[in-house]
């Protein structure tokens, strides 16, 4: 479900002739001149108690042209004749302070040097104050009419359809402002009639024109009292467990719970505010990530950046996040042409027009193609997110995992070293720790190679580990959703299986944060919070579907090859070191010998076309910590989805 609150500029739909629009600025200048003249005359009237002496009357009319010319010129220089009055804000009104102040100074200075141009100081002050009040009243008039008078019931006036009435949960000033903006839109289908907050406010306090009614769990009692049918909240503003409790409470009361994006995720143009229903990401939401934007901006602004795997779940989100920091150019590398096309088109639609976007279709195993891209675009920073990540599929195709995850990483890392890349960030996984799967083992080898290469390279090589991401194609969430829509069963490999989960934006933001913090040689581990039982995840999704838990069968099918019951974030010999960012840790790893790691990769590459058994045995020789698990063999009726997210192996579709 996706609703929108329309915020398109009013004149975009109004039918004004072009000739009238072309006269808009001249008419505004004329209107302001009339207001300035009224203010100047009124200043004299107030100064002399409506009895202006004859000599001052003469001075008033003599100085009128000089005053109007000065004031109009000052407003023109400060560019205050632009902007639609219908959408005037408090910030727009404050923009008049500077030109009014400058006007007053110019009038006073002129009087000091030209005696015939002298205007009494008290009249100058009164004129400036009255000018400001008249302009503010004029510019606010359209909004006052549309928001207050325009909503009054007028006989014979065609009434708009009744709006839905909603409460908004707000613990922050920005949300209060947003609620007021929503109510200001005449085309909005919803009216916010009250605020619920955990903060302490006086009883019946009013903020942004909307009453504070109580706490979030008070919503049900206002359903009938205020004819409310919805509760709105901002994404990420309420921890998942509390949100689940509130949603249950609201469902029982017959209130619909809807979510609007946080300010950072809303369209900068303010063209619309998407409103959606709660998804599983919201229920697993932890405190929002606070980035060190000054550090990130210093390192990324104006740089040439390459992202491999740019069309995948993590790679594409890294690209979206990078665009916020105005890189000079962004090279989007992926072997899937459709994925490159989609992310390239999406980024082109963003308001950032300073970044040059280069869609680059190419395989990281195609060394000449990758070499050409490095030579042509000279990236200063590389985010390497390209990899085969599907655990179950890589168990069946270990040679391909070795080629793509190890040799492909080696290709990009070697080119980064050769072409003088400043930083190389490897996107790794918790499955690389004490690996039990081919995918995890190949990612461990990728970590080893870039860190060993970094010892002898001017390029700063960094690895970042995190767990499963929610909601990407082929991951556990869409599979569960599809199984629920079919009426079940939901199939889970083991009742005790747990995983660390992050949302895609959270993981991508922290990858960028860790990359900017790194000085080379670090393995950064992202704070994944508490592990989540997969069976609990399934139950929450059943609840989100509006069904009782008993309505959908949960079937346990047994662990598959390569699976762990519990994931780990670091090896026993690695020490977790805090960093300046509370959600990023550094793992101090053992010293690696470049020659030894390179020799292991060479041996592995010589056997990639051998049988899966041979490849797995060679991986064990290269990574002693690798302990392959056999698990059960999936039946022909079971379906595994081959997509780009490593948590999809948790589920076997029945």
Domain chopping of the chain, boundaries? 10-149, 160-278, 293-650
* pLDDT at res. 154: 43
Higher-scoring residue by pLDDT: 113, 91? 113
Of 339-343, 384-388, 474-478, 483-487, the poorest mean pLDDT is in 474-478
Pairing verdict, β 2-6 and 272-277: antiparallel
Q: Phi and psi for 16 in degrees, rounded to 5?
A: -100, 135
How far is 78 from 545, CA to CA, in rounded Å? 54
Question: Which band of pLDDT confidence, cut at 50, 70 and 90, is reported for residue 364?
Answer: very high
In 374-459 the beta strands, taken as DSSP E runs, fall at 381-384, 423-427
The answer to whether 417 and 457 are in contact (CB under 8 A) is yes
The answer to whether 649 and 557 are in contact (CB under 8 A) is no
Q: Do domains 160-278 and 293-650 have the same CATH topology?
A: yes
pLDDT for 215 beyond 60: yes
The pLDDT tens digits of the residues spanning 582-605 come to 777 777 777 788 999 999 999 999
pLDDT for 342 beyond 90: yes
* Residue 95 CB neighbour total at 10 angstroms: 15
How far is 530 from 503, CA to CA, in rounded Å? 14
pLDDT for 60 beyond 50: yes
Angle at 262 between CA 261 and CA 266, to 5 degrees: 65
Residue appearing with tokens 């990130």: 296
Query: Which residue intervals of 272-361 are DSSP H helices?
Result: 280-283, 293-300, 313-322, 337-348
Question: Which band of pLDDT confidence, cut at 50, 70 and 90, is reported for residue 643?
Answer: very low
* Residue 539 CB neighbour total at 10 angstroms: 15
How far is 448 from 601, CA to CA, in rounded Å? 10
Question: Which residue in the list 389, 431, 540, 564 is annotated as catalytic?
Answer: 431
Mean pLDDT of 351-371: 91
Structure tokens that stand for 419 in this block: 């072409």
* pLDDT at res. 286: 58
CA-based nearest residue to 227, from 163, 318, 153: 163
- Backbone dihedral region of 563: left (phi > 0), alpha (psi from -120 to 50 degrees) or beta? beta
The answer to whether 305 and 330 are in contact (CB under 8 A) is yes
Helix or strand (DSSP H, E) at 112: helix 97-113
CA-based nearest residue to 217, from 177, 175, 179, 257: 257
The pLDDT tens digits of the residues spanning 515-561 come to 888 888 888 887 766 777 888 888 877 877 767 777 788 888 776 66
The pLDDT tens digits of the residues spanning 375-417 come to 999 999 999 999 998 888 899 999 999 999 999 999 999 999 9
Question: Which band of pLDDT confidence, cut at 50, 70 and 90, is reported for residue 648?
Answer: very low
pLDDT for 203 beyond 90: no
Q: Alpha carbon 98 to chain centroid distance?
A: 34
Helix or strand (DSSP H, E) at 274: strand 272-277
Question: Which band of pLDDT confidence, cut at 50, 70 and 90, is reported for residue 639?
Answer: very low
How far is 167 from 220, CA to CA, in rounded Å? 10
Does the domain at residues 160-278 carry the CATH identifier 3.40.50.1390?
A: no
Higher-scoring residue by pLDDT: 378, 157? 378
- What radius of gyration, in Å, describes the C-alpha atoms of the chain? 32
423 is known as an active-site residue: no
Q: How far apart are the first and last CA of the chain?
A: 27
pLDDT for 481 beyond 80: no
The pLDDT tens digits of the residues spanning 114-132 come to 766 678 888 888 888 888 8
Of 223-237, 248-262, 278-292, the poorest mean pLDDT is in 278-292
The pLDDT tens digits of the residues spanning 164-191 come to 788 888 766 666 667 766 776 656 677 7
CA-based nearest residue to 459, from 387, 401, 374: 374
Structure tokens that stand for 560 in this block: 């598959």
Of 63-77, 262-276, 280-294, 388-402, the poorest mean pLDDT is in 262-276
Question: Which band of pLDDT confidence, cut at 50, 70 and 90, is reported for residue 153?
Answer: very low
- The CATH architecture to which 293-650 belongs is 3-Layer(aba) Sandwich (3.40)
Return mean pLDDT, the chain: 77
The pLDDT tens digits of the residues spanning 542-553 come to 877 767 777 788
For residue 358, the SS3 value is strand
* pLDDT at res. 448: 94
């Amino acid at each position: 479900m996706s609703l929108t609150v329309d915020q398109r500029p009013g004149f975009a739909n109004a039918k004004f002739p072009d000739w009238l629009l072309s006269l808009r600025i001249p008419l505004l200048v004329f209107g302001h001149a009339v207001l300035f003249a009224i203010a100047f005359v009124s200043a004299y009237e107030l100064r002399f108690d409506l009895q202006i002496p004859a000599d001052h009357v003469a001075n008033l009319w003599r100085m009128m042209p000089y005053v109007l010319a000065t004031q109009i010129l000052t407003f023109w220089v400060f560019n205050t004749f632009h902007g639609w009055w219908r959408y005037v804000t408090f910030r727009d009104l404050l923009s008049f302070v500077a030109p009014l102040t400058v006007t007053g100074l110019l009038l006073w200075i002129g009087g000091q040097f030209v005696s015939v141009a002298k205007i009494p100081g008290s009249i100058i002050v009164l004129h400036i104050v009255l000018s400001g009040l008249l302009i503010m009243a004029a510019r606010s008039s359209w909004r006052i009419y549309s928001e207050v008078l325009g909503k009054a019931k007028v006989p014979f006036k065609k009434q708009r359809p009744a709006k839905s009435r909603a409460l908004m949960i707000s613990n922050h000033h920005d949300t209060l402002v947003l609620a007021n903006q929503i109510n200001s839109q005449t085309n909005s289908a919803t009216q916010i009639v009250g605020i619920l907050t955990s903060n302490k406010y006086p009883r019946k306090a009013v903020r942004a024109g909307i009453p504070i009614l109580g706490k979030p769990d008070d919503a049900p009692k206002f359903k009938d009292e205020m004819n409310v049918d919805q509760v709105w909240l901002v994404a990420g503003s309420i921890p998942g467990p509390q949100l689940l409790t509130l949603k249950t409470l609201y469902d029982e009361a017959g209130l619909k719970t809807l979510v609007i994006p946080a300010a950072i995720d809303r369209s900068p143009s303010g063209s619309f505010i998407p409103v959606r229903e709660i998804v599983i990401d919201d229920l697993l939401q932890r405190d929002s990530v606070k980035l060190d934007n000054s550090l990130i901006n210093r390192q990324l602004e104006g740089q040439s950046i390459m992202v491999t795997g740019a069309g995948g779940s993590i790679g594409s989100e890294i690209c979206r996040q990078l665009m916020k920091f105005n890189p000079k150019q962004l090279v989007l590398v992926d072997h899937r042409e459709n994925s490159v096309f989609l992310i390239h088109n999406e980024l082109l639609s963003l308001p950032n027009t300073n970044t040059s976007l280069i869609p680059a279709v190419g395989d990281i195993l195609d060394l000449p193609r990758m070499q050409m891209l490095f030579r042509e675009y000279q990236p200063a920073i590389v985010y390497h997110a390209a990899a085969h990540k599907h655990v179950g599929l890589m168990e069946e195709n270990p040679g391909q995992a070795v080629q793509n995850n190890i040799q492909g990483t080696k290709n990009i890392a070697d080119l980064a070293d050769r072409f003088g890349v400043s930083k190389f960030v490897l996107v790794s996984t918790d499955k690389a720790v004490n690996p039990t799967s081919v995918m995890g083992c190949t990612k461990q080898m990728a970590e080893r190679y870039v860190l060993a290469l970094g010892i002898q390279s001017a390029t700063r090589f960094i690895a970042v580990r995190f767990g499963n991401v929610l909601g990407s194609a082929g991951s556990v969430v869409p599979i569960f959703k599809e199984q629920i829509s079919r009426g079940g069963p939901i199939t889970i490999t083991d009742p005790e299986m747990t995983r660390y989960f992050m949302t895609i934006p959270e993981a991508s933001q922290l990858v960028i944060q860790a990359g900017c913090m790194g000085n080379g040689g670090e393995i950064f581990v992202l704070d994944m919070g508490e592990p989540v039982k997969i069976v609990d995840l399934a139950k929450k999704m059943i609840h989100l579907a509006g069904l009782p838990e008993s309505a959908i069968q949960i079937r346990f099918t047994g662990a598959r090859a390569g699976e762990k019951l519990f994931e780990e974030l670091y090896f026993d010999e690695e020490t977790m070191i805090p960093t300046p960012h509370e959600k990023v840790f550094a793992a101090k790893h053992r010293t690696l010998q470049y020659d030894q790691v390179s020799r292991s990769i060479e041996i592995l590459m010589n056997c990639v076309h051998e049988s899966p058994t041979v490849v797995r045995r060679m991986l064990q020789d290269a990574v002693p910590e690798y302990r392959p698990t056999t698990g059960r063999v999936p039946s022909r009726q079971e379906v595994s989805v081959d997509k780009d997210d490593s948590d999809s192996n948790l589920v076997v579709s029945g």
